[in-house]
Structure 1
Amino acid sequence: MSTTRTSPSRGPGSPDVTGFYEKDTGSIQYVVADPATKKAAIIDAVWDFDPKHARTSTKSADEIVAFVKERGLTVEWILDTHPHADHVMAAAYLKDKLGAPQAIGDKVLEIAELWSGFYNLHGVFDPRRDFDRLFADGDTFRIGELEARVMLSPGHTLGSITYVIGDAAFVHDTLMVPDSGTSRADFPGGDAAVLYRSIQQLLALPDDTRLFVGHDYCQGGREPMWEATVAEHKRDNKHLKGGVSEAEFVKVREERDRTLPLPDRMLHALQINLRGGRLPAPESDGNAYLKIPANRF
């Protein structure tokens, strides 16, 4: 059972937000619900993957399915903020289980083209086929009576988006919680200066906006955390407080990124996630195979 915690609605137009912490990758998955209608969305759900044995499991996703059924929620959207490098997305599995459309930002088309080159798999990734909706910057949609808006927030990847739903914003891998700072920007298509500018747009949201991050690595052995307000990030975020300039931020971020290894699931995960959370088609023996580029990174 994962660590689970609900941030309750603050009133009309404000969602209930339940986070599910997936320990193996430090990922937080979200169920965002409209209390008035019991309509909901799932954001950044994890399809468990053991990189040592290349084996998948639906344990984390099934926990979310059980939660929405227990609460009597109707899932209207299965959302991802970007094609994750550190976990495999459960979107396709949840679509099959719950019948809701899956969506991601439209810059995934550029990310798919970029990674087609790294995998030498040209013409294989087709986000228009594998996602039901590709959101552009500024697009809006609804979850029950809740208004939702899409913000393009690149830097961690060139196509990362934020979902602003009422007084909650799901900021993916731009920010960490304040004691951990911000997220890396050294993956292909990432850029620390672009990340800084995206963060400034997030910090321009109202001070009481609840910001929900994509990962937490439990700084100093504390319990997992994933929520802080805009005001708390301005005051306490270790990479941002005190009015840090873009140049100062880029220096700190790039120095930190040079020390980080690739995520252990990255080369597996991206070729699954760029298919919307689907393995490649089985080959003649009935098994699916992943292609891992040697000596590229």
Structure 2
Amino acid sequence: MSRASALVSGVQAGRGAAPIVRSFFDEPTNTASYVVHDPATRSAAIIDSVLDLDIASGRISHKSADKIISYVKAEGLTVAWVLETHAHADHLTAAPYLKAELGGELAIGREIIRVQNVFGKIFNVGTEFARDGSEFDRLFEDGDSFAIGNIQAMALHVPGHTPADLAYVIGDVVFTGDTLFMPDYGTARADFPGGDSRQLFRSIRRLLSLPPETRLFLCHDYKAVGREQFVWETTVGAERSSNVHVHEGVVEDDFVAMRDARDATLGMPKLIIPSIQVNMRGGHLPEPETNGARFLKIPLDAL
């Protein structure tokens, strides 16, 4: 049994506290953010937050993040961690804003350095962008352990969607980031720079080796055809039996052929250009220029 499976199984068997999870769904970006906390100590983590951007006007707001802040304060929680599963391409993170308001260490996977180097070149950023992960307080390695109060947690490196994707095992629940979607929708794309459909398959199989009762909290939902409601929670067992792309019996080569063919038909996410520029900096906006305004670049014919 893997360490992650042992951690989950221990909580399911009653040998540890189960975390409380509160979700916040942002329909404009189809993103599910989470606050997860230890009921005994009230220690909490925030996972994959959203900074609101009106792309037409270039205006930033904190409506989504303020909902999280209100919840944390109303529940009397102390934020220990502000966690990112990866450098998102579909929304900007509100991590620095939340950290300033609520505290906590900002963390992501160590492979963010690789992402910074790739996109640092694409956006032609200057030497002021260190590309060493220093915008974050902690860079997790695969299998690194941490805690939220009395609840043990672990970072799992699950590359494929991007090189830097992490899943977080927290007690008996897992936050999968952009690896899996709901069983009726399938799996994440793997055609971004550094993405790899074969790695994605293996990462998903790693997650699906966890106990079948394990609850999975997903980063996105897009409503599969015929489904009227957004849903972002499932189980390992449901994914094993019913995921339309990667259920039990699907072999790696068939998945890779399907995923690569499907990805070839997809356009870029509408917020990929602003999102990556901000998220590769840990959510920090570019420094103001001489007129006091901040600017994001649009690289032509580069993505």
- Counterpart in 2 of 1:43? 47
Question: Cα deviation per residue 1:12-47 (whole Å; 9 max; x = unaligned)?
Answer: 421111111100010000001111111110000000
- Counterpart in 1 of 2:85? 81
User: Which of 234, 237, 254 is residue 231 of structure 1 equivalent to?
Assistant: 237
- Counterpart in 1 of 2:66? 62
User: Using the alignment, how far apart are the partners of 2:203 and 2:134 within structure 1?
Assistant: 29
Gap regions ≥5 residues in structure 1: 1-8
- More divergent stretch after superposition (162-171 vs 116-125): 116-125
Q: 1:41·1:79 contact (CA, 8 Å) conserved in 2?
A: yes
User: Using the alignment, how far apart are the partners of 2:94 and 2:258 within structure 1?
Assistant: 33
Residue aligned with 1:89, SS: coil
Q: TM-score, normalised by structure 2?
A: 0.92
Q: Write the letter of the residue equivalent to 2:158.
A: S
Residue aligned with 1:77, SS: strand
Q: 2:120·2:131 contact (CA, 8 Å) conserved in 1?
A: no
Matched, 1:97 2:94: no
Q: Write the letter of the residue equivalent to 1:43.
A: I
TM-superposed deviation, 1:129: 2.6
- Counterpart in 1 of 2:6? none
- Counterpart in 2 of 1:265? 271
Correspondences of 1:209-228 after superposition (within 5 Å): 209-220=214-225, 221-228=227-234
- More divergent stretch after superposition (122-131 vs 63-72): 122-131
Gap regions ≥5 residues in structure 2: 1-10
User: Using the alignment, how far apart are the partners of 2:193 and 2:115 within structure 1?
Assistant: 9
User: Which of 7, 10, 16 is residue 20 of structure 2 equivalent to?
Assistant: 16
- Counterpart in 2 of 1:208? 213
- More divergent stretch after superposition (240-249 vs 41-50): 240-249
- More divergent stretch after superposition (251-260 vs 39-48): 251-260
- Counterpart in 2 of 1:275? 281
Moved over 2 A (4+): 9-13, 125-129
Give the count of matched residue pairs.
289
Q: Write the letter of the residue equivalent to 2:154.
A: R
Q: 1:127·1:274 contact (CA, 8 Å) conserved in 2?
A: no
Q: Write the letter of the residue equivalent to 1:59.
A: K
Q: 1:175·1:181 contact (CA, 8 Å) conserved in 2?
A: yes
Q: TM-score, normalised by structure 1?
A: 0.94
- More divergent stretch after superposition (11-20 vs 54-63): 11-20
User: Using the alignment, how far apart are the partners of 1:248 and 1:127 within structure 2?
Assistant: 36
- Counterpart in 2 of 1:184? 189
TM-superposed deviation, 1:126: 3.7
- Counterpart in 2 of 1:173? 178
Cα pair distance change 1:125/1:60, threshold 3 Å: farther
User: Using the alignment, how far apart are the partners of 1:218 and 1:49 within structure 2?
Assistant: 22
Identity rate, percent: 47
Q: 1:38·1:72 contact (CA, 8 Å) conserved in 2?
A: yes
Q: 1:140·1:149 contact (CA, 8 Å) conserved in 2?
A: yes
User: Using the alignment, how far apart are the partners of 1:202 and 1:148 within structure 2?
Assistant: 15
Residue aligned with 1:252, SS: helix
Q: 1:48·1:88 contact (CA, 8 Å) conserved in 2?
A: yes
